Amino acid sequence: MIDVLYFAWVRERIGLSKEQVESSAATVADLVEELKAREERYAAAFADLAAVRVALDQELAEFDAPLAGVREVAFFPPMTGG
Amino acid sequence: MIDVLYFAWVRERIGLSKEQVESSAATVADLVEELKAREERYAAAFADLAAVRVALDQELAEFDAPLAGVREVAFFPPMTGG
Amino acid sequence: MRVRVQAEPFDFGAECGAFASGRADAGAVVSFAGIVRDDGGLARMELEHYPGMTERALQRIASEATRRWPLRDCLVIHRFGTMLPGETIMMVATAAPHRADAFAAAEFLMDYLKSRAPFWKKEFGADGAAWVAAKDADEKALGRWSED
Amino acid sequence: MRVRVQAEPFDFGAECGAFASGRADAGAVVSFAGIVRDDGGLARMELEHYPGMTERALQRIASEATRRWPLRDCLVIHRFGTMLPGETIMMVATAAPHRADAFAAAEFLMDYLKSRAPFWKKEFGADGAAWVAAKDADEKALGRWSED
């Protein structure tokens, strides 16, 4: 089981800020494919991956990063703080 | 008659912060030569002109600037504010 | 080096004063405040963040600034939640012996914080709400700090 | 745009707070404070200036900053007279819609003020008194603002 978090418009499109996902995906990209296949709202959120960032256990990562040992995955748009 | 002001170590070497000078010098450089000829303390203050700056009527100027119409000449070292 | 993430307003002036107070070990203090700008019709801004990761990211950015420049101190405060036009969103402050280092470190903190700390702004106005889009210029600004 | 030249101490924090307060016309406020640094054995510093020319020079530098960057406001305060280690010598503050402009204008103000405003520092320590020498780096810093 992996915790998956969504922020900003990714959260709004999926309609959920956090869920637990049972997945055997090897990489972030694989997990995204599994989520997109689930429901239209996931497909909408992940339609343009160039506009989505990912963090693994609270560290920024790439979509080809492996998920082995990861407990928390977060998806969100490019950051706009400051 | 022209007001001549001295600041920082130029003031200390000459031992004076302000004086009125009767001069027919055409340029700042001419005025400096007149002052150096007066007394040793002026010669000491103006020994290295690369280390001295000049302002004419409170505007930075060069040593070859003309003195015509100028009422106030100030000599001082490079500035060190901030 | 201190990092604070909070919903409550903070007093930018008081923070600047305390940060600079009696600092005979530095000669230069630089501070930056980010303020909610009313470009016309903005009613409020909501700042979402990623609790946990936010603090880690800010700590890392502040540590990196301290590694790169001889800072005597550095402070980052960033708010989340609802803010009105004119309210202070965040601030950074740096103290160093020389001004070039204090300025560079403050700009570095801002550039990294903008694009690497997990905050997202949503603007609410007369025409509805919209997420603020990240600017290419902000991402590009990181390039100047490359150590390669 | 305000310029103040004074012997009295000023409250850097209070000035920063007032400068940034409710500024919904800007998004970015940058401030700089110059503090008397104790590099070891400094008892006091005396700052001489050229009354009249000082105000003109600071006004000109502030006007030039306002011409070059879209500033909503800018503030310069510089003290003269006797100061102890840890005391604030001077400050600048800038407010602009975007941070790059606020930072650049504040650095420009500092670079010009350092080498073009008529102030001279004398340090008094255990070994006696000495005028602070101008730094080549300060003169060179002006080069980066050339508009040619």
Using one digit for the tens of pLDDT, what is the confidence trace for C67-96?
999 999 999 999 999 999 999 999 999 999
Average pLDDT over residues D44-61: 97
Identity of the residue in D50, D53, D120 whose CB atom sits nearest the CB atom of B80: D120
Contact C35 D16 (CB under 8 A): no
Using one digit for the tens of pLDDT, what is the confidence trace for B1-20?
999 999 999 999 999 999 99
pLDDT at D40: 80
Residues D126/D48, Cβ–Cβ less than 8 Å: no
CA C131 to mean position of chain CA atoms: 19
Residue written as token pair 């009249």: D52
Q: Where are the domains of chain A?
A: 2-76
pLDDT band at D148 (very low <50, low <70, confident <90, very high): confident
pLDDT at A7: 98
Which domains occur in chain D, in start order? Answer: 2-39+52-125 (3.90.1170.40)
pLDDT at D41: 87
Average pLDDT over residues C27-56: 95
How far D87 CA sits from the closest chain B CA (Å)? Answer: 13
pLDDT at A40: 97
Provide the 3-class DSSP secondary structure of residue C74. strand
Distance CA(D40)–CA(D125), nearest Å, equals: 9
Which of D 3-32 lie inside 8 A of B, CB atoms? none
Neighbours of B1 (CB within 10 A): 8
Q: Do chains D and C touch (3 or more CB pairs under 8 A)?
A: yes
- pLDDT(D63) > 80: yes
Closest-CA residue to D66 (of D1, D143, D142, D146): D1
Distance CA(D80)–CA(C129), nearest Å, equals: 51
pLDDT at D126: 87
- pLDDT(D136) > 80: yes
Chain C residue whose CA is closest to D38 = C24
Sign of the torsion angle spanned by Cα atoms A17, A22, A26, A31 = negative
Lowest-confidence segment of A33-37, C27-31, C126-130, D103-107 by average pLDDT:
C126-130
Neighbours of D26 (CB within 10 A): 25
From first CA to last CA, the distance across chain D in angstroms is 26
Identity of the residue in C114, C118, C121 whose CB atom sits nearest the CB atom of A76: C118
Using one digit for the tens of pLDDT, what is the confidence trace for A20-71?
999 999 999 999 999 999 999 999 999 999 999 999 999 999 999 999 999 9
Chain D residue whose CA is closest to C26 = D37
Q: Is C134 on the interface with D (CB under 8 A)?
A: no
Closest-CA residue to C116 (of C90, C94, C142, C88): C142
Contact B7 D133 (CB under 8 A): no
- pLDDT(C148) > 80: no
CATH 3.10.20.30 fits B2-76, yes or no: yes
Distance CA(C37)–CA(C132), nearest Å, equals: 13
Q: Are strands D73-79 and D2-6 parallel, antiparallel or unpaired?
A: parallel
Using one digit for the tens of pLDDT, what is the confidence trace for B14-65?
999 999 999 999 999 999 999 999 999 999 999 999 999 999 999 999 999 9
Contact B81 D118 (CB under 8 A): yes
Using one digit for the tens of pLDDT, what is the confidence trace for D8-19?
999 999 999 999
Name all chains with 3 or more CB-CB pairs below 8 Å to chain B.
Answer: D
Share of chain C above pLDDT 90, in %: 89
Mean pLDDT, rounded, of chain D: 96
Average pLDDT over residues C96-104: 97
Mean pLDDT, rounded, of chain C: 96
Distance CA(C61)–CA(D117), nearest Å, equals: 36
Burial of D111 (0-12, 13-18, 19+ CB in 10 A): buried
pLDDT at B12: 98
The backbone torsions φ and ψ at residue A36, rounded to the nearest 5 degrees and listed phi first, read -60, -35
Chain C residue whose CA is closest to D95 = C33
Distance CA(B51)–CA(B42), nearest Å, equals: 14
Closest-CA residue to B20 (of B72, B57, B76, B56): B72
Using one digit for the tens of pLDDT, what is the confidence trace for C32-46?
999 999 888 899 999
* D contacts of C107 (beta carbons < 8 Å): 99, 103
Q: Is C97 on the interface with D (CB under 8 A)?
A: yes
Q: Is D141 on the interface with C (CB under 8 A)?
A: yes
Closest-CA residue to D116 (of B73, B77, B79): B79
